[in-house]
Amino acid sequence: MIRAILFDLDGTLMDHRGAADRAAVAWASGLAPGHPRLEEVPALWRRLEETHITAWQAGECSFTEQRRRRVRGLCTELGLPGPTGTAGADASFAVFLDYYRQRWRIFPDVAETLTALTALGGLRLGVLTNGEAAVQAAKLARIGLADLLDPVLTADLLGGHFKPARACYLHAARLLGLEPGQVLVVGDDVAADVTGPRTAGMGSVWLDRDGAGHPGPPPPAPRISLLTQLPALLTGAPAAGGFPLVPLAPGGGPPPP
Ligand SMILES: [Mg+2]
Q: How far is the CA of 165 from the centre of ligand 1 (A)?
A: 15
Confidence of residue 239 (pLDDT cuts 50, 70, 90): low
pLDDT tens-digit profile of 124-163?
999 999 999 999 999 999 999 999 999 999 999 999 999 9
- Mean pLDDT, to the nearest integer, of 61-79? 96
Quote the CA–CA distance of 154 and 58 in Å, as a whole number: 15
Distance CA 230, CA 33 (A): 44
Round the CA-based radius of gyration of the chain to a whole number and report it: 19
Q: How far is the CA of 186 from the centre of ligand 1 (A)?
A: 9
Ligand 1 geometric centre to CA of 155 (Å)? 15
Instruction: Please report the pLDDT score of residue 211 as a whole number.
Output: 87
Please state the rounded mean pLDDT for residues 225-251. Answer: 71
Helix, strand, coil percentages, rounded to 5, for the chain: 50, 10, 40
For residue 107, report the distance from its CA to the centre of ligand 1, in Å: 12
Q: Could you tell me where the beta strands, DSSP code E, fall in the chain? A: 4-7, 124-128, 152-153, 183-187, 203-207, 223-224
Cα(78) to centroid(ligand 1), Å: 27
Instruction: Give distance in angstroms: CA of 251 to centre of ligand 1.
Output: 31
Confidence of residue 246 (pLDDT cuts 50, 70, 90): very low
* Cβ(114)–Cβ(143) below 8 Å: no
CATH classification for the domain delimited by 4-15+105-240, as one of 3.40.50.720, 3.30.420.10, 3.40.50.1100, 3.40.50.1000 = 3.40.50.1000
More confident position, 17 or 248: 17
Confidence of residue 214 (pLDDT cuts 50, 70, 90): confident
Of all residues in the chain, what percent carry a pLDDT higher than 90? 84
From the list 82, 142, 104, the residue with the least C-alpha distance to 23 is 104
Query: pLDDT band for position 256 (50/70/90)?
Result: very low
Statement: residue 13 has pLDDT above 50: yes
The ranges assigned to domains in the chain are: 4-15+105-240, 16-102
Quote the ligand 1 centre to 212 CA distance (angstroms). Answer: 14
Q: Which of 189 and 243 is assigned the larger pLDDT?
A: 189
pLDDT band at 250 (very low <50, low <70, confident <90, very high): very low
What DSSP character marks residue 80? P
pTM of the complete model beyond 0.85: yes
Residue 245 — very low, low, confident or very high, per pLDDT cuts 50/70/90?
Answer: low
Q: What is the pLDDT, as a whole number, of residue 126? A: 98
The mean pLDDT value for 216-240 works out to 86
pLDDT band of residue 49 (cuts 50, 70, 90) is very high
Q: What is the mean pLDDT of the chain?
A: 91
Q: What angle do CA 169, 175, 178 make, to 5 degrees?
A: 80
Mean pLDDT of 185-190: 96
CA of 80 to the centre of ligand 1 (A): 31
Whether the predicted pLDDT of 103 surpasses 90: yes
